[in-house]
Amino acid sequence: MAEAALIDGKVHAEHLREQVRLEVAKLVAEHGLQPGLAVVLVGDDPASQIYVRSKGEHSLAVGMHSVTHRLPADVSQEALESLIGELNADPLIHGILVQLPLPAPLDEKSVLAKINPDKDVDGLHVINAGRLASGLAALTPCTPLGCMILLRETLGDLTGLRAVVVGRSVLVGRPVAQLLLQADCTVTIAHSRTKDLAAVCREADILVAAVGRPRMIKASWIKPGATVIDVGINRVPFDDPEKAAAGKTKVVGDVDFKAAKAVAGAITPVPGGVGLMTVAVLLQNTVTAAKRLNGLPD
């Protein structure tokens, strides 16, 4: 059997960003509407700062209005939620994203609940989760929507395919299962306590790994020819003893990639797969929000 085709997240993300750039230019030219994204960063976590900077740079690159609010780690709950209220009321802002996790003792659920659901471009508000579950128009979490874009561009029509999602988080597992159902797949949500998890995974034409455990999904768990979407981002020590002794780490997915690519039909690498789609989908969600808020068709 031939080695699995690699699903290149970089190529797909670049294509999506170009589509967004053209759509933004069209909105500006035809409606005088420039989609606006506000990102709120609390504290000085290095990884969060990198993510926020990337989001700002990409939004500007596609012609969007971009604002970043940097707040100290000791900001009060009241001050943070007051800023959210101001952004909700700002007609130039169509998308609001609060970079998670928030420093303790801030209440993330309370903050997310304050965001106008129609500006919730991360898709984390309970109203958007309910809309998605009900099959209504919703702003969908970026990573699950990125997974679906990769699947559709790799496989085309997904109707009737058996999909297994390993992981039941509200961030990825549950919303990606809802999206697969909407695409007329037969969907199983599995998790670490699923009985005979390996056998359940082997039933999948589409296997989405979103459990947060490095290399948990073995090659023997994968149906030959299946399409594997690896959402995991896990830091582990290098195999090289010298690098490991120096405390150096590398990023791996939830799938044992080297072994799995000999069995799967197509697979996303980590890094270089799903993760690169997330910011591109965030831009797309902001454009969608801007259209809906201004009474324009998606």
The answer, yes or no, to whether the previous bond of 271 is cis (omega within 30 of 0) is yes
pTM of the predicted protein model: 0.92
CB 271 within 8 A of CB 253: no
Spatial separation of the C-alpha atoms in residues 265 and 258, rounded to whole Å? 13
Q: Is the pLDDT of residue 16 over 80?
A: yes
Residues 188 and 249 in one domain: yes
CATH of the domain at 45: 3.40.50.10860
Q: Is the pLDDT of residue 39 over 70?
A: yes
Q: Is 210 part of any domain? A: yes
Residues 172 and 269 in one domain: yes
Residues 88 and 173 in one domain: no
Q: List pLDDT tens digits, range 232-282.
A: 988 888 877 777 777 788 889 999 999 999 999 999 999 999 999 999 999
Lowest average pLDDT, out of 51-60, 203-212, 241-250, goes to 241-250
Q: Work out how many domains the chain is built from and give that number.
A: 2
Spatial separation of the C-alpha atoms in residues 165 and 200, rounded to whole Å? 10
CATH of the domain at 250: 3.40.50.720
pLDDT tier, 44 (very low <50, low <70, confident <90, very high otherwise): confident
The closest alpha carbon to 283, from 9, 100, 63, belongs to 63
Report phi then psi at 211, rounded to 5: -105, -15
Residues 112 and 146 in one domain: no
The closest alpha carbon to 118, from 291, 283, 296, belongs to 291
In the structure encoding, which two tokens stand for residue 291, read together? 């259209």
pLDDT computed for residue 37 by the predictor:
98
pLDDT tier, 47 (very low <50, low <70, confident <90, very high otherwise): confident
Residues 102 and 192 in one domain: no
Spatial separation of the C-alpha atoms in residues 25 and 41, rounded to whole Å? 28
Radius of gyration of the chain measured on its C-alpha atoms: 20
Range of the domain at 75: 34-116
Active site residues: 55, 99, 122
Q: How many Å from the N-terminal Cα to the C-terminal Cα in the chain?
A: 42
Q: List pLDDT tens digits, range 84-125.
A: 999 999 999 999 999 999 999 999 999 999 999 999 999 999
Spatial separation of the C-alpha atoms in residues 213 and 239, rounded to whole Å? 17
Q: Is 88 part of any domain? A: yes
Residues 211 and 262 in one domain: yes
Q: Is 228 part of any domain? A: yes
pLDDT computed for residue 1 by the predictor:
62
- Mean pLDDT over all residues of the chain? 95
Q: Is 240 part of any domain? A: yes
Spatial separation of the C-alpha atoms in residues 179 and 208, rounded to whole Å? 12
- Dihedral angle computed from the Cα positions of residues 217, 149, 60 and 115, in that order, rounded to the nearest 10 degrees: -80
